[in-house]
Structure formats: C-alpha cells, structure tokens
Amino acid sequence: MTEAPNQARDKALEAFLGLIAEKGYADVSLREVAEAAGLGFAELYGLYPDKLSLAAAFMARIDAQVMAGTPSSIDPEETPRDRLFDVMMRRYDALRPHRAALRALRRAGTRDPMLAISMGPPLRRSMAAMLEAASVASDGLPGALRQNGLLVIHYAVSRVFDRDETQDLSKTMAALDNRLKTAERWSQLFDRYVKSPQGGVPPGAPVSPEA
C-alpha cells in the first residue's frame, strides 16, 4: 500500500536534488521537479507542497541515514565529544554524494533571509537528532543552547567539507575535531558557572543586592 507513495517521494527528492545542484535553488520550480521525477504536478503537490518541504525531506533522509549507523549501546570509554564527532562524521559521509545540492541550499539561504528563517526549525531538529544519537541531551534550555551551538559548528565545518576532496575527509575531520574541542571547553566553563556556590554567578563576580 505504501510502496508507490514512497517511490514517488524518492523520485521527487532525487529530482529536486539534481535540479538545484545544476541550476540553483531559486531557479528551480515545483513544476520542473514534477516533470523531472515523472510525476503529475498534483501528485507531487500532494507529497511536497513546496520546495521547502523537499529541502526538509532531504535533511530528514540524512538524519535517518545517520541514525541507521548509530550503535545500540554506548561505549563507556567514549566521551560525549567522541560520540558527537562520530555522529557528525557519519552525517558528512551521508552528505558527500549531495555536496552540490547542499551548496545550492546554503547559497540560497544567504541570499533569501526568509528562506534562511524557514530552514531554521528543520535544521535545529536535525541538530537535536545528532545530539540524541550521541547520547547528549537536546531538551530544555541547555539542549536548545547545544542545538544552536552544534548548528554553528556544522555551518563552519560545512565550508571545509565543501572543498574537501580527500578520500577520508581528513580536512573535515580536523575542522570538526578542532571546533568540538573548543565547544567542549566552553561547555565545561558553562557547567562551572551554573554549579558555582552563588547559584550561577562565577566566583569573583559582583553580586547585586537586589538579586
């Protein structure tokens, strides 16, 4: 029962990725995607009513591929940074065949602020999924901060990934490792801040009598 719709979704997504890689996001219409996928426009619209839904489906597909490679148990010898490094490198491995489409999406986001805003929630969901895959909490205020922090790291590392032609993505690995180490240091400082004896005020900081 679900095979035909799933096949249509896959065809539409592949057509979308190929077209934006070739022409850019802004120059691709939904009708072109339908034609390239061999679908009627109404059929495509029922699956993906706009290009943003196709972009979100692309991210969800990558998320699923990363999750499929996530171990069922945690290695006690690994730190959260180690696990997050492994998760994000699986993400870049999954993204490797689609680098041209990824560049097209990134360029479109820098030129269209509304698109960038619309892409925010799907991107944060992806970052939350990556954190959870690494057994790092993504809920609450601390989780929201981690999601945004990982998104900043991902954006910076993606620039290296775009130009990384090494077989093992060694340049991407080095960039990711460096930024995760920096994030780990900031996280440790934040934890000390929160757990300080003055209820979140770092030692030596002035305390307002009205606090």
Q: Is the pTM of this model over 0.85?
A: no
Give me the residue spans of the domains in the chain.
1-49, 51-194
Q: Do 107 and 24 meet the contact criterion of CB atoms below 8 Å apart?
A: yes
| Separation CA 202–CA 190 (nearest Å) | 9
Q: Mind listing the pLDDT tens digit for each residue in 33-71?
A: 999 999 999 999 999 999 999 999 999 999 999 999 998
Q: What is the CATH number of domain 1-49?
A: 1.10.10.60
Q: What is the pLDDT of residues 159-202, one digit of tens each?
A: 999 999 999 999 999 999 999 999 888 766 656 655 665 555 44
Structure tokens at 211: 């606090």
